[in-house]
Amino acid sequence: ILNVEQSPQSLHVQEGDSTNFTCSFPSSNFYALHWYRWETAKSPEALFVMTLNGDEKKKGRISATLNTKEGYSYLYIKGSQPEDSATYLCAFGSNYQLIWGAGTKLIIKP
Amino acid sequence: NAGVTQTPKFQVLKTGQSMTLQCAQDMNHNSMYWYRQDPGMGLRLIYYSASEGTTDKGEVPNGYNVSRLNKREFSLRLESAAPSQTSVYFCASSGPGTAGEEQYFGPGTRLTVT
């Protein structure tokens, strides 16, 4: 059974601080690793899709790294802002399907 | 472009009733998916359709059926609803259909079965 673990489950961060969280996934049959941002009362929206070991992607203050050999990815947020409050989901892609983690809920304290 | 649309947004059913959740996308995507989302759990794949004319079971298909009506539309049917099917249901679509393509999600359907 393929399992995707995200840690921590939730995180309170002071506005302006930087933070990061982890996604762990199987290191075999890897095709892609996805990160999504999910705001309350909205739908998940893709942040990054990474396919190569060592990939690093960046969008504004948010970046992600990928290690397929050891089966983990980090998501970094620099200088957290209130609008960064959301649940961040990662998903492991194998063939046609995505296996999803339960998410890290990020709350930014003003 | 509307992206991915779902109807209805909310539904309350009694145990044993049936209903169909509708999903449509206007992005000319090949692949479409149905997920359910329960508190404390990740999105779980119910069924997917890699291309028009094909459907496959996901992680939790029991109690559900699907129809890929055409390239745009993918419906999910509950034949005899059970309280365990109380959940939020999301439809999603993606381009070529491999796991390397980002998925676009609909607004969700909140279903309660009493």
Specify whether the CB–CB gap between A46 and B103 falls below 8 A. Answer: yes
CA distance to partner chain A, nearest, from residue B17 (Å): 27
Residue A75 pLDDT greater than 90, yes or no: yes
**Locus of tokens 């779902």:** B6
pLDDT of residue B41: 85
- Distance from the Cα of residue B3 to its chain's centroid: 15
Interface check for A98 against chain B (CB to CB < 8 A): the answer is yes
Q: What is the mean pLDDT of residues A16-24?
A: 97
Q: Which residues of B touch A102 (CB under 8 A)?
A: 40-42
Q: How far apart are CA B49 and CA B65, in angstroms?
A: 12
Blockwise average pLDDT, block size 10, chain B, 114 residues: 92 97 96 93 92 92 96 97 97 83 94 97
Specify whether the CB–CB gap between A69 and A59 falls below 8 A. Answer: no
pLDDT of residue A28: 84
Interface check for A4 against chain B (CB to CB < 8 A): the answer is yes
pLDDT of residue A97: 83
List B22's β-bridge partners, or say none: B7
pLDDT of residue A94: 81
Residue A1 pLDDT greater than 70, yes or no: no
3-state secondary structure string across chain A = CCCCEEECCEEEEECCCCEEEEEECCCCCCCEEEEEEECCCCCCEEEEEECCCCCEEEECCEEEEEECCCCEEEEEECCCCHHHCEEEEEEEEECCEEEECCCEEEEEEC
pLDDT in tens, A41-67: 899 999 999 999 999 999 999 999 999
pLDDT in tens, A80-109: 999 999 999 999 988 778 999 999 999 999
Backbone torsions φ then ψ of A92, nearest 5 degrees: -95, 125
